[in-house]
A and B are shown apart, each in its own frame.
Chain A
Amino acid sequence: MNIEKNNRTVYWNPYFGGFLLGILIILTFYITGRGLGATGALKSGVVAVVDAVAPTHAANNAYYSKFIPEEKSVLDSWLVFEAIGVILGAIISGGLSGRIAWKIQRSPKITNRRRLIFAIGGGILFGLGAQIARGCTSGAGLSGMSVLSTGGFITVISIFGAGYLAAYFFRKNWI
C-alpha cells in the first residue's frame, strides 16, 4: 500500500522526459514536416459541433468556415488523431504507474468549487489566447521554438512573462 502510494508521485527525471520529447519532435518533423499540437484538436471539436448544430451559421462565419473541408469531416484531421493518441498514451502511462483515479486535484487550502471555477476560467483564457496567437504551448511554443520561429519565441516569452506577473494574484490556489 505504502509503495503503491509513493509510486504515484515518482515521475521521470525532467531532463530524461525532455530528451525523449525532443527526439519525438525531431521524428515528427522528419515524418510529417510539421510539429506537434494540442489546441488544434479542440478547435476542430468546436467547429464540428457548431457545424452540426447550425451549419448555415458555421458556413457564414469567417472563422469556422476556414476549417470546414469540402470533401471530408471536420474531425478527420491530423491534430484530432494526434490528440486521441495523446489521451491513449497518458492512459497507458498513468495506468502503468497506478495514477488513474477520479479526483479533483487542488491545494488543501482551497475548495473543490474554487478549483473548478479557476480551471474553467483558465481554460477559457487559454482557448481564447491560443486562437489569437494561432497556437498554444505545443504548436506555437514547442514546435515553433524547434524551428526557431520568431512568433514561437515571442509567444513563449509572453506566456511565461504573463504567468510570472500574474502569479501573485493566483498564489492562494497553489501555495
Chain B
Amino acid sequence: MGPLLPNGIIPTEWDSLIAILIGLVFGFILESSGFSSSRKLAGVFYGYDFAVLKVFFTAALVALIGMYYMDYLGYMDLAQLYVHPTYLWGAIIGGIIMGVGFVSAGFCPGTSLCALAIGKIDAFAYVGGALIGIFIFSELFTLFQPLYDGTFLGNVTLMDTFDINPYWFVFIFTLIAILIFVISDLIRKRTKKQVYN
C-alpha cells in the first residue's frame, strides 16, 4: 500500500533517481503546456490567455479525485501523506507578495526553471531575483520569524478547519472549476488578442 517510499516498499537509495525522473516529467508537462512563456502565463491576469488557470485547477482536481479513489480502493493511505502546514498570516501575506511578483515577472519559480532551460534570458534574471529574495528573507529571518512561525494551525486540511465532507467538497469544487473554465472562455473571447510565442 502506498505511499511506497515511506512504507519501505521502494528502498530509499532510489530516492534521488525518482526525484530526477518525476522532475523530468514535471518540466516536460509545464513546457509543453506553454508555461515557459511569461506572456502566456501573465494572460490569466488580463484575460487574453487562461492556460494557467485551466492547467492548474485541472491538475489539482485530477490529483484530488484520483487520490481519493486510490484511498477508497485501498491502494494508498491518504492519512500518511504530507499535508502542507497552515500558518495563517504567513500563508496570506506570503501569498500576496508572491501574487505581486507573479504579475510583475510573469513567472513562478517552477515555470521560470522551464523558461530558463529553453534559453529565456528574462527567466535567468527572475531566478537570480528569487535567489536574492530568499537571501534577504534568510538574512532578516529574526524580523520575519513572528510571521513565519506565528498563527500555526497545524497540518490541517479543509475538513479539519471547516468540518466538511471531503467527497461533497471535491464534487462542488469540480462544478465550480468547470463554471470558472466556461466563464474564462467567455472573457477571453471578449478580450483583445495578444501575439507572442
Contacts and interface: CB of A to CB of B under 8 A. Distances in A.
Contacts of A124: 101, 129-130, 132-133, 136
Contacts of B115: 90, 105
Contacts of A161: 95-96, 99
A62 to B, nearest CB: 6
Contacts, number: 532
Contacts of B106: 119, 122, 173-174
B98 A42 contact: no
A70 B134 CA distance: 22
A146 to B, nearest CB: 4
A23 to B, nearest CB: 6
A74 B186 CA distance: 48
Nearest to B137: A131
Interface string A52-73: 0000000001111000000000
B2 A30 contact: yes
A92 B114 CA distance: 10
Given A149-B84, A150-B86, A171-B46, A32 B18 contact: yes
A12 B32 contact: yes
Nearest to B157: A148
Contacts of B39: 105-107, 174
B117 A91 contact: yes
Interface in A58-106: 61-64, 76, 78-95, 97, 99-106
Contacts of A166: 99-100, 103-104
B172 interface: no
B137 A91 contact: no
A89 B26 contact: yes
B99 A159 contact: yes
Given A18-B55, A129-B98, A134 B125 contact: no
The binding surface of chain B is classed by DSSP as helix
A85 B26 contact: yes
B87 to A, nearest CB: 7
A162 B4 contact: no
Given A129-B96, A132-B144, A31 B2 contact: yes
A155 B94 contact: yes
A43 to B, nearest CB: 5
A175 interface: yes
B183 interface: no
A92 B120 CA distance: 15
Contact of B121 (A39, A82, A116, A157): A116
A164 B184 CA distance: 14
B97 A128 contact: yes
A149 B156 contact: yes
A174 B123 CA distance: 16
Contacts of A45: 131
A22 B36 contact: no
A75 to B, nearest CB: 11
Most buried by A among B16, B17, B28, B95: B95
Contacts of B11: none
Given A78-B19, A120-B126, 12 more contacts: A15-B58, A26-B66, A30-B4, A33-B6, A79-B19, A121-B101, A126-B126, A129-B93, A137-B98, A141-B56, A147-B78, A175-B48
